[in-house]
């Protein structure tokens, strides 16, 4: 492996010494500056004949690349342009996107990343991250040993089993870890050289992929049971042996696997599941913001969650913790949370309830008093009619399921209903914000999973906040890494939600958004990281806690500036 030595000078500037062939330097996205190499660097590194004469400032390069970006017409072309830039010059990529974050975020993540995942085998033109395929399971240690990095702080790993609301996309799921880690760097300041996207290829049950001659993954039905678990165990043991202090983020695993994997590993390794805990954190933040913005109290609210998978149950779990912290008993808190799955409302006499929904099953003796026709399939409308919720969360991937009739019924019982259609991508959203505003006469408090434009109603313009996990996980990750925390706890996500809710525009405007602007994220992430670090110390999960958490966070936060690069003597 070519030698790369990283240090910092007295001014805190990054200095990298290399022992590499000139062309290898230009082909390394961490080292490459393109036309940004100084004359001194070009001579020292032996690249002065490989570049045009002019030395560009990074501002000039950003201007040039932004013009290129704007010339692309389709969403997927803009995505491909940005990914190609990232593979060529990471510092320039992050500098460009940080300056145009609100414009570019939809192209490096949702909703465009969904199309990238669907077409991954056709778009593939790079080798970012590692692919660990089941047929090579006996070579796991060997594959992990060959990862060309000496340090990894955070891994995002998926098996492609449930990509957004699109289902099993097999190896196409790699677009998600790549995108999520870009957000870790962009908004959490995690050095891009210390991140690693991982795809665990355990097959696919998607018939279209299995029959596609250009599909790049292992063409085999998806593994289940003991074989699947053995493979995941091999990965966890090998990767934590190579990188013992790494933070692992589980991403887009199926409902059947997400919660069991989290429960299996979270007490022994530094890991969390963003679909469960990250989603719960950002949804809780949105709810707390709505409650603060309307001068109400959490204990007076009732919550319906339409979609009883891992994300929905994660929301139920964190909201329960928030209610208990607010002074309620756990039993009372759970009595205010109604979870619906494929067979309707979960209650204690529901047939075939999985373990997730059993935790939030309503007492049947209470539900029987509703007088519904079929206790084994209580509909969303029946639940809203009888439970009279103030909050409605959609994690169902069932587009259009929040109908006008249903929303009007909800509005009968609450002046300003809190409605979050969260399913991604946009095509899977349970309702359109425009319709929700019309049906509630401009009174709904709305947040969505995918970005939507502002809505105009009766002369007023409403900004629709995006309930995006990017508001939570970069800050949590930064706090864990900066303090050297050995575990990720639920209280870290609850604290992160509380911090995020304090930035909501609705606190200053009763019709403002529930979530801040994307451009505020660096400040928000640092604030979350500082509070998460304090929780880590309070809960005793740091072996060597820093004396000043805020300073530790600031020191760990990477900025997209070119380092000084020189040849190792």
Sequence ranges of the binding site: 162, 251-252, 275, 424, 468
d(CA 357, CA 347): 9
Active site annotation includes 109: yes
Task: Say if residue 457 is preceded by a cis peptide, omega within 30 of 0.
Answer: no
Burial (CB count within 10 angstroms: exposed 0-12, middle 13-18, buried 19+), residue 55:
middle
Nearest to 223 by CA among 178, 172, 168, 271: 168
Strands 154-158 and 247-250 turn out to be parallel
Active site annotation includes 562: no
| Cα 453 → chain centroid | 21
Q: Dihedrals φ, ψ of 223, to 5°?
A: -70, 150
CA dihedral 235, 237, 238, 242 (to 10 degrees): 130
CA dihedral 540, 546, 549, 555 (to 10 degrees): -140
Query: Which two tokens mark 221?
Result: 């039905």
Question: SS3 letters for 498-526?
Answer: HHHHCCCHHHCCCCCCCCCCHHHHHHHHH
For the chain, report the end-to-end CA distance as a whole number of angstroms. Answer: 17
Task: Say if residue 435 is preceded by a cis peptide, omega within 30 of 0.
Answer: no
d(CA 350, CA 412): 28
What residues have CB less than 8 Å from 46, skipping those under 6 apart? Answer: 22, 567
What is the 8-class DSSP label of residue 352? T
Annotated binding site for (S)-malate: 162, 424, 468
Determine contact, residues 249/266, Cβ cutoff 8 Å. Answer: no
Packing angle, helices 101-108 and 90-99, rounded to 10:
120
DSSP, collapsed to helix, strand or coil, labels residue 354 as coil
d(CA 337, CA 302): 6
Q: What are the start-end ranges of the E strands in 439-557?
A: 445-448, 455-457, 460-462, 465-466
Active-site position among 107, 109, 194, 306: 109
Active-site position among 180, 334, 428, 526: 180
Determine contact, residues 325/494, Cβ cutoff 8 Å. Answer: yes
d(CA 156, CA 307): 24
What residues have CB less than 8 Å from 418, skipping those under 6 apart? Answer: 286, 287, 290, 301, 390, 391, 392, 444, 445
DSSP, collapsed to helix, strand or coil, labels residue 157 as strand
d(CA 527, CA 514): 18
Determine contact, residues 194/153, Cβ cutoff 8 Å. Answer: yes
Active site amino acids: 109, 180
């Amino acid at each position: 492996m070519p030698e790369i030595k990283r240090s910092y000078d007295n001014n805190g500037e990054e200095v990298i010494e290399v022992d590499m062939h000139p062309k290898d330097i230009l082909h390394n996205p961490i080292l490459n500056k393109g036309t940004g190499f100084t004359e001194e660097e070009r001579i020292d590194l032996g690249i002065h004949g490989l570049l045009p004469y002019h030395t560009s400032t990074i501002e000039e390069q950003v201007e040039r690349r932004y013009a290129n970006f704007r010339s692309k017409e389709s969403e997927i072309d803009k995505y491909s342009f940005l990914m190609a830039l990232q593979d060529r010059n990471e510092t320039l990529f992050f500098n460009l996107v940080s300056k145009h974050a609100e414009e570019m975020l939809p192209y490096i993540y949702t909703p465009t990343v969904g199309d990238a995942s669907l077409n991954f085998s056709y778009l593939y033109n790079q080798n970012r991250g590692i692919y660990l395929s089941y047929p090579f399971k006996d070579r796991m240690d060997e594959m992990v040993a060959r990862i060309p990095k000496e340090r990894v702080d955070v891994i995002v790993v998926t098996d492609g089993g449930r990509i957004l609301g699109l289902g099993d996309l097999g190896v196409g799921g790699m677009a998600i870890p790549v995108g999520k880690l870009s957000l870790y760097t962009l908004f959490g300041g995690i050095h891009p050289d210390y991140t690693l996207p991982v795809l665990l290829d355990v097959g696919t049950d998607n018939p279209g992929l299995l029959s596609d001659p250009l599909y790049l993954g292992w063409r085999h039905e998806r593994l289940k049971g003991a074989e699947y678990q053995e493979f995941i165990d091999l990965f966890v043991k090998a990767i934590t042996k190579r990188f013992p202090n790494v933070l692992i983020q589980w991403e887009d695993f199926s409902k059947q696997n997400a919660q069991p994997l989290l429960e299996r590993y979270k007490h022994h390794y530094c890991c969390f599941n963003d679909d469960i805990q990250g989603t719960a954190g950002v949804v809780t933040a949105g709810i707390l913001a709505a409650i603060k913005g309307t001068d109400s109290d959490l204990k007076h609210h009732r919550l319906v969650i339409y979609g009883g998978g891992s994300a929905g149950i994660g929301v139920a779990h964190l909201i329960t913790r928030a209610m208990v912290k607010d002074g309620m008993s756990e039993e009372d808190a759970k009595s205010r949370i109604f979870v619906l799955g494929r067979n309707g409302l979960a209650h204690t006499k529901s047939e075939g309830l999985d373990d997730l929904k059993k935790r939030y099953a309503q007492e049947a003796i209470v539900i029987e008093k509703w007088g519904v026709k079929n206790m084994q399939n209580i509909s969303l409308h029946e639940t809203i009619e009888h439970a009279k919720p103030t909050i409605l969360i959609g994690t169902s991937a069932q587009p259009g399921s929040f109908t006008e009739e249903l929303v009007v019924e909800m509005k009968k019982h609450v002046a300003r209903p809190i409605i979050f259609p969260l399913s991604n991508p946009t095509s899977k959203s349970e309702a359109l914000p425009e319709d929700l505003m019309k049906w509630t006469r401009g009174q709904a408090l709305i947040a969505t999973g995918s970005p939507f434009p502002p809505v105009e109603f009766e002369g007023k313009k409403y900004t629709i906040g995006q309930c995006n996990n990017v508001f939570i996980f970069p800050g949590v990750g930064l706090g864990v890494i900066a303090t050297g925390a050995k575990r990720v706890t639920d209280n870290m996500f609850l604290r992160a939600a509380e911090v995020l809710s304090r930035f909501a525009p609705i606190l200053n405007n009763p019709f403002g958004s529930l979530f801040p602007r994307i451009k505020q994220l660096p400040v928000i992430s640092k604030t979350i990281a500082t509070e998460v670090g304090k929780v880590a110390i309070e809960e005793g999960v740091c072996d060597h806690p820093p004396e000043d958490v805020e300073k530790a966070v600031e020191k760990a936060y990477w900025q997209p500036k070119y380092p000084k690069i020189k040849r190792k003597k």
